[in-house]
Structure formats: structure tokens, C-alpha cells
Structure 1
């Protein structure tokens, strides 16, 4: 039987103990030095080439200063507006936000391998997303299937991953139906699919129908089946766009684009059901202008929730209580201009914002005690940035 990593660690520990006993009290050898913490992290930037960019950018964040540096670019990738890396940082996947691909009403998804040292991208292949304007990607826990949300298509497709990281043809397609009262809700608009920690259920935010759809996920075949309770209905005209799980796996936070709110939901991981706990505005009291929510993330420690407002041009910060209840901390506004997407670095020290209309990336230092955000350094100029994806630290 092959020895697992856990078996190896256990065996090594016993061997070391035996050696120490055999040496009759002699000093055990000093432990091997642990790798030092990284001084910088690399990240990729998705963009709109139709907005003047060159493709997918590779950049670096200095963890001491918050300084940002552009390292390189992979040109010729059309409208790679959302990016996703696999857990090992060996492959990157990008949507191509098109409404026609290979003569069909579809966008596309592109697969790339990542060089382990330079982190440069090498194109592998490209497949149809099976719906127009793909806008989000999600990998299952086994790294076997990629879920694609198609905004114009109003559906979710599942693409198998091939040996070597390439993409196969879609094996599943779930078409949504319906509409909502807002002018932007004349048809379904699937905006994000998220798998739970058990790899059992998929929650799909449909901005056009005011529903969070719930599917059972077959990890062996990539199939999606509507759950016994097939959806959670938001307030009419809310427009659920993105959601995120709390680290405890039992609370979900949904950010609603059209009515600028965030909803805390109790999640039952066995049944896949959602129950509203609280809904709050993401905007300051008294604000009367137009604004549209975009992205949402929980801090690594599970204590703070962050959401982006396009129009008010801010990041809203909430403290998360033990039961998932939210309390407003602040609206961070300095240097923020149409924040399409943002990302917390894996250490939790910095938050980076993709200012789509500001044509730059802004770094903000995060106070881990209060959750508050403070801009640092100079913004990094990138045309029409839409998505940020951190690469794992080099081994």
C-alpha cells in the first residue's frame, strides 16, 4: 500500500523518537528551518480588451509596503473579464465575455498553464460557455469540473477539466426562466455559481429573476439537479449578483446589485436551504444618486464583510457578529472609482480594488482589529480592470 503524506509524517515522528531513545539521552538533531513568509504576492488582472487593455496582466504586491508593480501581460485574450486559478496555482481560467463564439450565441472560456517560476501564462485551449456574456467561474473541490455563469444566456454550464488542465465540452446546462420588475430584469441573468464546502450544493445568483437558485451537484458526472427547495427569492428588484460563504459554512452573504443591499442568510449545508437573517443597505443614509453593487468578500478571520458600490464609489465594511448579524463599520471612499471587483490578499493584510472606470488598481491596508481600510502607495495603471486573482505563494 502506498504511504500517504500523513502516514509519512507519523512514521517519521516515530523514527525520530526511536533514534532519540537509542542515543541514550543524546540531544536530538535540530529541526529543519521552516520556509520564511513571502515578502510579495503575485496576482493576475482580468480586463476588457474592448475597453483598451491588452489582455491578462501579471502584477505583484509588496507585503511590507503595499506597493504594486506590473510584471507582464498575456496579450490577445479577448475580454477576459473574470479569472480563476486552481488551488495549486498551476492553471488559470478566464471567461471571454462575448455574445457570439464560433457562429453561435455563446461566450467562451480559455485555459492557461502557469509557469512555476515566472508565472507567465501559456494558452492550452478554449471552449464555448454555452451562453452569451459569461461572467463568473467556479471550480469544484476535486478540480474536475468548471462551472460557468452566463449573464446574457441566463444559464449555468459545467465544463469538465482534462488531464493537463485543458477544458472539455460542456456536460451540463441549466437554463433559467423568469424576469423581475427592474428595467435590467427583462430576462434571467445568471451572475455567479458558488459551491459549498462539502461540494454538494451549488448556489447560483440570478440577477434577472431575483432568485438564488439551489442545485445538487453530482461530483462524479458534473450534473446539476434542482434541490428540493430549488431557490431563495430575494426582494423584488433586488438583483442578487454575488454571494460569499462565511468560513463557518453556515452563513451566506448575498450582495444585491439593483437595490444596493446585502442580505445575511442562514445556510443549511445538509438541505441546501437559505433563510433570511437580515438585509441592510450598502449605501450611506441620505445618499440619493444611482449606485450598483458588484462584489462581496469575507475577511480570512471571518470577522468582517466587504462589498463594493459602483456610483457611490465606495467599499462598505460591516462587522460580522457571532450569529452572522452585520453592523456597519464604514464606507471607504478614497481613490475608489467604479469598483467592479476587489480581492483580499491571502494574509488578510491588504485589499486590492479593480477600479474599472478609474483604469487602475488601488491597494488599501486593512486594520485586522477594526476592519477599516486605508489607501497606501500609488494606484497601478491598468486599462479597464475587472477582476483580481491572487496566485499561491511560491514554494
Structure 2
């Protein structure tokens, strides 16, 4: 059985229509909603435990995270935990499966939170991103392939610097090993790294471009190589770049553009550099989140209440179907 968990926005401030985490069952490619778990507001990003028994979510715009137990097709709320930092936006689990790692955007903090299954115990360590100009806003906490390092793209938002931190993690404790100061007002948002752990791609929300880095995993250092736009040369309107993923064969890098409402596709060359390949409609507004499951790409259009499924084939995307879901902003798959 294949299940899909969809996180969403729920508040009027977010112009949202969601009510909680929706569970879909997928049979022969068809999606059927089977459960709605009411949650605290804005369960906007989530991660599954490797044991497939628990799911953890952040709650955007407040200061809490939550845990849920998976019982077959049922998702049961267990507890919430106040981290203190406002607007947690990303959550993951460390290599030892002992700590939840959380980035709080307005809090400007990276957290390491000790946990055991559904029981969230205490904050083990936290790292506040202060620069000479003020607080920087942590928008993601993304592991390298060894799970020895965490990448944290930070936004300045006219109060701090835009940049990308590399943080070494050891038993839940943090140590900064490198920092890349990005262009002012570029607003780094999300990133992805190649399976060989050598090529890292950072998408910049306001700058609307991707920065390619080489990554030295031995020393936790970055080597910036190039910037490439997420927009076509003849597009002169506004846009806000959002999410970024690599195709399963890693031959194509894909980014999403909100407002412009198109995906950008790049060819990935052997040395990791990029060249523009194509632009594909998202068939909806505000593609905040994108993810692959096997050879299908899923685009979540937050303001159109849709999930668009594409087949990835021959370095191209072919639209397959539209799934209705209110204010969707995160998607996880689970085989049970």
C-alpha cells in the first residue's frame, strides 16, 4: 500500500483553506483521500521517521512542532513541543535518529531537539544566525549525503545578510565550518545536493537564480562556481523562486517559480555546471513545493489547491493528472 501525507496552510493570514494533514491512498495511480488529521495551525513541512511508525511536522507562523503515530492508514496526533523560535519551516532527523533538526525562519535559529519516537524530550543545541548587519532568517536545514553536515540557507530580509552556512553536527551539537555570503537581496531559500555529495545547487528566492557550488565533504567547505537564472530572458515580470530538486537520474535539475508559475529545467553537465533546458507550466498558482517519487514529479500549487503529477521521461516532464488538495505545501510518501 502506498500512502501520501499532504501538509498545508490553514490560517486566514495565509489565505488558506486547509484543515490539517491529509492522508491519501494511491492504488494503480489513483489518489483517494482516506483520512484528515486535525492539527495545530499550518502543518507546513514534515518528515517521516525511517522506522515508518512516526511523522513529525512543523507549524508555520507559530513556535511549535508536533509528532504523530502511524497506525496503518491512520495518523494519530501524539504531542506538540514549543521550540521558542517563530515560524519553523523545515524539519529532518539526524544520522543517529536521536535528534530532530529544525530551522526557524523568523527566529533565525537552527535547533537540535532530542527525541525518542513520539516523545520530544528537550532542546540539545541551538545556533542563532547573527551577522554584523543583524539577524539572518534560516529557511532550510538540509543534510549532506553523509549526514555529518547541515546546509542552512539564510535570508536577510533587510535585517541581516543573505548567505549559506555549512554546519557540522556531532551527537546533536553544532559547529559552523563555512559560510558563503550571497548577493544582497538574493534571499537563498532551498537547496539540493548530488548523490556523490560533490555538487550543491542553491535556489535564491528574490534573486531568481540558482548558485552551483562544489562541496568538500572532508573539510565541510564550499566552492561557488556559477549563477544561472530561473527565468527566461524574455520574461520581464515579477517572480519568486521556491523549490529545487534533482531528477532521479540526476541529468536534470528542476526549480519552481511562483508568480511566474513555471518550472525551470536545466541540463546537468559532468562537471556539475548547468545550462537552461526548458520551462514547463505548473498548471496552477504558487508552486511552493516540488518532490519526486520514483519517476514522477509532484508540484504543489498552494493557491490553486492542486497537486500536479508529471512523468519524468527522456529529460522531459509530461503532465499525467491533477489531484485536488486544499492549500498544499508539503508531500511525503510511505510504502506500508
Q: Same fold (TM over 0.5)?
A: yes
The 8 Å contact of residues 67 and 363 in structure 1, kept in 2 or not, is answered as no
| Alpha-carbon shift at residue 80 of structure 1 (Å) | 0.2
| Alpha-carbon shift at residue 382 of structure 1 (Å) | 1.4
| Alpha-carbon shift at residue 68 of structure 1 (Å) | 3.1
CA RMSD between the two structures:
1.7
1:377-392 equivalence runs, <5 A: 377=321, 379-391=322-334
List per-residue Cα deviations over 1:189-215 (Å, max 9, x = no partner).
100011222222221110222111122
Q: Distance in 2 between matches of 1:355 and 1:277?
A: 31
List per-residue Cα deviations over 1:287-322 (Å, max 9, x = no partner).
111111111111222221111100110111112111
Q: Distance in 1 between matches of 2:239 and 2:180?
A: 24
| Alpha-carbon shift at residue 235 of structure 1 (Å) | 2.0
> 1:58 — aligned with what?
23
Q: 1:88 to 1:113 in 2, by over 3 A?
A: same
> 2:44 — aligned with what?
81
Q: 1:192 to 1:73 in 2, by over 3 A?
A: same
> 1:112 — aligned with what?
68
**What TM-score comes out, normalization by structure 1 length?**
0.79
> 1:308 — aligned with what?
256
- Are positions 1:155 and 2:99 aligned together? no
> 1:188 — aligned with what?
136
| Alpha-carbon shift at residue 187 of structure 1 (Å) | 4.2
Structure 1 gap segments, 5+ residues each:
1-39, 100-106, 181-185
Q: Distance in 1 between matches of 2:26 and 2:326?
A: 18
List per-residue Cα deviations over 1:102-151 (Å, max 9, x = no partner).
xxxxx111011111x32x21122211123101100121122111111111
Q: Distance in 1 between matches of 2:253 and 2:118?
A: 33
The 8 Å contact of residues 237 and 259 in structure 1, kept in 2 or not, is answered as yes
> 1:204 — aligned with what?
152
- Are positions 1:169 and 2:130 aligned together? no
Q: Distance in 1 between matches of 2:32 and 2:283?
A: 17
List per-residue Cα deviations over 1:267-301 (Å, max 9, x = no partner).
00011111112210011112111111111111222
Deviating beyond 3 angstroms after TM superposition, the runs of 4 or more aligned structure 1 residues are: none
Comparing both structures, which one devotes a greater share of its residues to strand? Answer: 2
| Alpha-carbon shift at residue 252 of structure 1 (Å) | 0.6
Q: Distance in 2 between matches of 1:71 and 1:261?
A: 39
Q: Distance in 1 between matches of 2:132 and 2:306?
A: 34
Q: 1:287 to 1:268 in 2, by over 3 A?
A: same
Q: Distance in 1 between matches of 2:262 and 2:131?
A: 31
Structure 2 gap segments, 5+ residues each:
none
Larger radius of gyration: 1
| Alpha-carbon shift at residue 60 of structure 1 (Å) | 3.6
Comparing both structures, which one devotes a greater share of its residues to helix? Answer: 1
The 8 Å contact of residues 58 and 72 in structure 1, kept in 2 or not, is answered as yes
1:243-322 equivalence runs, <5 A: 243-322=191-270
Among 74, 79, 85, the alignment partner of 1:125 is 79
Among 56, 71, 74, the alignment partner of 1:93 is 56
